[in-house]
Amino acid sequence: MEVINVREKITSGQNKRVKQWRALTSKKGRKATQSYLLEGWHLVQEALKAQLPLTAIIGTAEQLDAHAADFPARVDVFELTDSIAQTLGDTSTPQGIFATAPMPDDTAVDPATAQGSWLFLDQVQDPGNIGTMVRTADAAGLAGVVLGQGSASRFLPKVLRSMQGSQFHIQLVEGDLHDWITAFTQRQLPVYGTNLDPQAKDYRDVAPLEAGAIVMGNEGNGMAPDLQQLTTRNLYIPIKGQAESLNVAVAAGIVMFRLVG
């Protein structure tokens, strides 16, 4: 029977590892180590269920004791004092348990061969909106989500928390939407934008997707004009009341559940 690594206790906030973990909340820190930080037991547990290759599990003695039975063998475990754990988290009241994971290789997913239905996000910047759309894509049965240029990074602590583990259930990549849309349309896969234009079609009048993509644009400006020109067709959601528009995550949910069978 394999035995989990013995815990290494860290009692100094100036410890080199602690400094590296703190730096993972920044793009520079993540790039330096090619890893990112998961905060809170829910995210750590979801990563473990998905068999993500965690490189370290970090926490207070209380948290490590509470969850040790779920830790995989051969993972480095570090015990922190409560005070150090408080400085490591991004939330105002950290739970006291974290994990580090390697950043995935976005080039491992090729738009020329990607299967199923996808959600493309163009310059979507609000972490809550991104998280809601990723969870909804997961719930609606999509294959994956592509965060286009100008969208918030999926490794930002607020985005990670907002996705609530759905990032481990579907494919999630950052890429150039020009490349993705072109690759899909060249394979005769429909790509539907969500902008109102003279040729736009009621989303209810489009056949369900077996494979293809839906594009959601920036919260304030919608889809970039050059991307609108690349889509198969743009769709709109009729508004019956007097609201000017729908929240992008709400609109995405409506369209995903309608079009993805």
Residue range 82-97: mean pLDDT, rounded: 89
HSE-CB at 6 with a 13 A cutoff on CA atoms is 2
Check residue 1 and give its pLDDT: 45
**What percentage of the chain exceeds 70 in pLDDT?**
97
| Res. 13: pLDDT tops 50 | yes
| Res. 131: pLDDT tops 50 | yes
Residue type, 234: N
Angle at 39 between CA 34 and CA 42, to 5 degrees: 120
pLDDT band, very low/low/confident/very high, at 19 (cuts 50, 70, 90): very high
Q: Strand 117-121 and strand 191-193: pairing?
A: unpaired
On whether both 128 and 227 belong to a single domain, the answer is yes
Domain boundary among 75, 103, 131: 103
Q: Tell me how long the chain is.
A: 261
Check residue 261 and give its pLDDT: 65
Pure H helices in 89-193: 127-140, 157-163, 177-186
Owner of token pair 């590892």: 17
On whether both 43 and 135 belong to a single domain, the answer is no
Owner of token pair 């999509």: 142
Residue 3 lies in a domain: no
- Confidence (pTM): 0.92
Quick count: other Cβ atoms within 10 Å of Cβ 11? 10
Distance (Å) of CA 121 to CA 27, 102, 129, 140: 20, 23, 10, 16
Q: Which domain holds residue 82?
A: 8-103
Domain boundary among 60, 87, 103: 103
Segment 163-213, tens digit of pLDDT:
999 999 999 999 999 999 999 999 999 999 987 777 889 999 999 999 999
**What percentage of the chain exceeds 90 in pLDDT?**
85
Query: Residue 59's closest CA among 16, 100, 4, 101?
Result: 100
Average pLDDT, the chain: 93
Q: CATH number for the domain including 187? A: 3.40.1280.10
Residue 1 lies in a domain: no
